[in-house]
Amino acid sequence: MNRPMCRFTCLLLAGTMLVPTAAAAENLIPEADASGTVIVVTGTADGYRPVDANAIKTPTPLVDVPQTITVLTREQLDDQGVTQLGDALRYVPGVVLGQGEGHRDQITLRGQNTTADFYLDGLRDDTQYYRSLYNIERVEVLKGANALLFGRGGGGGVINRVSKTPDLDRVKGEVNANADSFGAFALAADYNQPLTEKVAGRLNATYEEFDNHRQNFEGRFIGVNPTMAFEPGDATRIELAYNYDDDRRTTDRGVPSKSGKPLTGFDDTFFGTQALNVATVKAHIAQARLDHDLADGLSFNMLGQYTHTDKLYGNVFAAGAVSAADTVALSGYESGTLRDSWVGQANLVWTGNTGGIGHTLLAGVEAASQDTHATRRNTNGATIALAERIIMPTFTYGALVTNSRTDVRTLSAYVQDQVELAPFLQLVAGVRVDEFRIEGRNAINGVAARRTDTKWSPRFGLVVKPRKEISFYTSFTRSFLPQSGDQFGALDATQATLAPEQFENLEAGVKWDINPALALTAAAYRLDRDNSRFNNPVTGLPELSGKTRTKGVELSLAGRILPDWQMSLGYTLQDGEVRSATTAAPAGRKLSQLPRHQFAAWTRYDLSRRIGLGLGVTHQSDSFATISNGVILPAFTRVDAAVFYDLSDRFSIQLNVENLTDTDYFPAAHTDNNISTGEPINARISIKAKF
């Protein structure tokens, strides 16, 4: 019996000696809002059917939003047994996971690669690190360019995490423990305590240790998140939160290519050194939020966030393909980032009527600053003989090649009106103006540069509703990204002369709330990017490459099909290519990591009040690792499964099996020669106690 199968069998046998898992979801209760629109009111468990999206900023049912939105609820995240954002996004079609150089979240949305389009409770969270889900209530994926709501970036869409918040009504808590067949484990606790009738506190905390199939891989994560909520009156709520993340893990950039494909037979082999391939992050995030109802239909909120992150990581990795003589060139570097960010936002939302025409009016302002100190040192190069376990030469770091400081200041204002011209016809129109200032200074060569851009970003949408539960929509949105990269870690004299990239998204679709607990969405889109940038396939550094176009069709179904059967299902058909001839990327080149077909399904069926089964399938057709189109990532299909058992109303156990068929696959890449290998079959047992 091979090692992964042995691990799985042992854990499975251990699981059979435990009393089985899985809490039955609470019943969903259909109600109607003031306009008669049917919505879903949920208790602590939402099921797989979301009601709305926090990032929209207005109280708008998803059926009335002219944009494709996928929401992963807490119940679905728990059923899949995921603790990291990247693992959760695997089940969102249209989202392609990037490798992130083995030390950060990185995704491709509608053909647009990003490390920065991440948000926490609607506020920008763009530092490069891995995001845990221990304190998260749900994950929202909003697709398509939309600077009106989010400002710069977000060309293909954004990812917004919604935090758990205090409940003033009751004491409640939850403790989780899980361990998998690689030896990784996690402990998490969630405790909510009303302190008075008007004050409550909540504490989420976790400790995780990492392990997987890769040689020398290890790590640990500590997360602590205390929050407080105050309700001094019926019309006012104040929330204060602090989040501390302490992450340390092996930096792993996978395997190189050979003959235009990922190197096979070396899925465990580590092309780095234990001493240098280390990433550490300490992140402090403090948030404050005020919500106040000024009058009937008129509300106001203010949000503020301060973030301090201290990150250092080292990388030794394959710098080229495997040669005919079975040798591999290696290179490496160390990079440090120290960042302080402030962002403040205020929104006024009015819902009412003028002359028989309904309005949901949003007006807001946002101000932000971001100060970054970035450093980099390179290692010497080396060439090694390919082997299952590589004998690594000595690597040392040289002098600093980057020592830069950048200051970013933004000031924004936006207004949007959702106009109900008739019960069957809605118009969405708005615009945002951003003043974006960046100044960079390089201590190595003494060069200083600065640039200021003022950009207008419109949004238009038309929603036709033949029935309250059905909408047909079309929309146009625009976004921009200044030319110093999505992290703004440096600005040189050349970048300071270049106009920002521009993204324009055209979308048309239909949304149908089949019943209060089940929703269907279908959409077609076209996304044009102008003055675009790609990472060079060899250096990994950004280069200008002109115009690109991505187009596709997306289908999704989420919710409760039968009282005991829930489903989250999606399919994406998409294609993207370069449309202008440049040296970096000639016209006709296909966009990287953009599989033509992508399918994801997760389903849960409760056999009884105490026993449930889960099954997941993800599929991606082949795609190119980079814009060079020189290395192909093969198509793959992965199958996951789960068994749930409730010992009582308070105690449950579940067994999740990932990659049930032990498929050999390559899910992501950073360059043509930094390609991640998929984990073999792996089982995880989780125990949960509620009180």
pLDDT, average across residues 51-77: 91
pLDDT, average across residues 456-476: 96
- Range of lowest pLDDT (238-242, 290-294, 584-588, 626-630): 584-588
Per the DSSP assignment, residues forming a β-bridge with 157 are: 143
Q: Give the residue from 83, 86, 91, 98 showing the smallest Cα distance to 136.
A: 83
3-state secondary structure of 16: helix
Written as one letter, the residue type at 489 is G
Q: Residue 134: what pLDDT?
A: 96
Specify the CATH number for the domain of residue 344: 2.40.170.20
Q: Residue 536: what pLDDT?
A: 62
DSSP 117-129: -EEETTEE--SSS
The model's pTM is 0.90
Cβ-based burial of 454 (10 A; exposed 0-12, middle 13-18, buried ≥19): exposed
300 membership: H or E segment, kind and range: strand 298-318
Tokens of residue 368, six digits? 């932000």
Please state, in angstroms and as integers, the Cα–Cα distance from residue 374 to each residue in 244, 316, 338, 460, following that order: 21, 19, 7, 39
Q: Give the residue from 683, 680, 681 showing the smallest Cα distance to 656.
A: 683
Which carries the bigger pLDDT value, residue 32 or residue 466? 466
Q: Residue 36: what pLDDT?
A: 35
Reply yes or no on whether the pLDDT at 208 is more than 60.
Answer: yes
597 membership: H or E segment, kind and range: strand 597-606
On whether the CB atoms of residues 83 and 186 are closer than 8 A, the answer is yes
456-493 per-residue burial string, b: 16 or more CB within 10 A, e: under 16: ebebbbbbebeebbbbebbbbbbbbbbbbbbbbbbbee
Residues 6+ apart with CB under 8 A from 465: 64, 423, 424, 425, 426, 471, 472
Cα–Cα distance for residue pair 669/107, rounded to 1 Å: 11
On whether the CB atoms of residues 183 and 208 are closer than 8 A, the answer is no
pLDDT, average across residues 465-480: 96
Reply yes or no on whether the pLDDT at 347 is more than 70.
Answer: yes
- Name the band, by pLDDT with cuts 50, 70 and 90, for residue 491: confident
Written as one letter, the residue type at 292 is H
Q: Residue 401: what pLDDT?
A: 92
Q: What's the angle, vertex CA 85, arms to CA 98 and CA 331, rounded to 5?
A: 35
pLDDT digits (tens, 9 = 90+) for 527-569: 999 987 665 666 656 666 678 999 999 999 999 999 999 999 9
Reply yes or no on whether the pLDDT at 328 is more than 80.
Answer: yes
pLDDT, average across residues 497-503: 87
pLDDT digits (tens, 9 = 90+) for 598-611: 999 999 999 999 99
On whether the CB atoms of residues 215 and 229 are closer than 8 A, the answer is no
DSSP 87-131: HHHTTSTTEEE--GGGSS--EEETTEEESS-EEETTEE--SSSPP
Region for 182 from its dihedrals, namely left if φ exceeds 0, alpha if ψ lies in -120 to 50, beta otherwise: alpha
- Name the band, by pLDDT with cuts 50, 70 and 90, for residue 247: very high
- Name the band, by pLDDT with cuts 50, 70 and 90, for residue 586: confident
Cα–Cα distance for residue pair 334/397, rounded to 1 Å: 8
Please state, in angstroms and as integers, the Cα–Cα distance from residue 634 to each residue in 382, 419, 596, 622, following that order: 29, 47, 12, 5
Reply yes or no on whether the pLDDT at 38 is more than 80.
Answer: no
pLDDT, average across residues 102-131: 93
Reply yes or no on whether the pLDDT at 11 is more than 70.
Answer: no
- Name the band, by pLDDT with cuts 50, 70 and 90, for residue 28: very low
Torsion, CA 683, CA 689, CA 690, CA 691, rounded to 10? -170
Tokens of residue 166, six digits? 């205090």
Which carries the bigger pLDDT value, residue 10 or residue 526? 526
Mean pLDDT of all residues in the chain?
Answer: 90
Instruction: Look up residue 493 and give its DSSP letter.
Output: T
The percent of the chain in helix, strand and coil, each rounded to the nearest 5, is 5, 60, 35
Q: Residue 31: what pLDDT?
A: 38
Reply yes or no on whether the pLDDT at 20 is more than 70.
Answer: no
Q: Give the residue from 674, 676, 614 showing the smallest Cα distance to 644.
A: 614
The CA-to-CA distance between both ends of the chain, in Å, stands at 41
Please state, in angstroms and as integers, the Cα–Cα distance from residue 15 to each residue in 250, 594, 642, 687, following that order: 29, 38, 12, 10
Tokens of residue 58, six digits? 């207005």
Q: Residue 622: what pLDDT?
A: 97
pLDDT, average across residues 353-360: 94
CA 414 to chain centre: 25
Please give the share of the chain, as a percent, with pLDDT higher than 90.
81
Q: Residue 539: what pLDDT?
A: 62
Reply yes or no on whether the pLDDT at 494 is more than 70.
Answer: yes
Residues 6+ apart with CB under 8 A from 17: none
Reply yes or no on whether the pLDDT at 231 is more than 90.
Answer: yes
Q: Residue 8: what pLDDT?
A: 37
Cα–Cα distance for residue pair 113/534, rounded to 1 Å: 9
239 membership: H or E segment, kind and range: strand 236-250
Q: Residue 27: what pLDDT?
A: 37
Reply yes or no on whether the pLDDT at 146 is more than 90.
Answer: no
Dihedral sign from CA coordinates of 469, 93, 571, 472: positive
Q: Residue 19: what pLDDT?
A: 33
On whether the CB atoms of residues 614 and 92 are closer than 8 A, the answer is no
Q: How many structural domains are present in the chain?
A: 1
Written as one letter, the residue type at 71 is V
Radius of gyration of the chain (CA): 25
Cα–Cα distance for residue pair 651/607, rounded to 1 Å: 18
Reply yes or no on whether the pLDDT at 352 is more than 50.
Answer: yes
Cα–Cα distance for residue pair 533/540, rounded to 1 Å: 12
Q: Give the residue from 180, 149, 172, 203 showing the smallest Cα distance to 7.
A: 180
- Name the band, by pLDDT with cuts 50, 70 and 90, for residue 46: low
On whether the CB atoms of residues 133 and 159 are closer than 8 A, the answer is no
pLDDT digits (tens, 9 = 90+) for 371-402: 999 999 999 999 999 999 999 999 999 999 99
Q: Give the residue from 438, 528, 525, 544 showing the smallest Cα distance to 478.
A: 528
Q: Give the residue from 418, 399, 410 showing the smallest Cα distance to 473.
A: 418
Q: Residue 584: what pLDDT?
A: 65
Residue 662 is part of which domain span?
A: 3-690
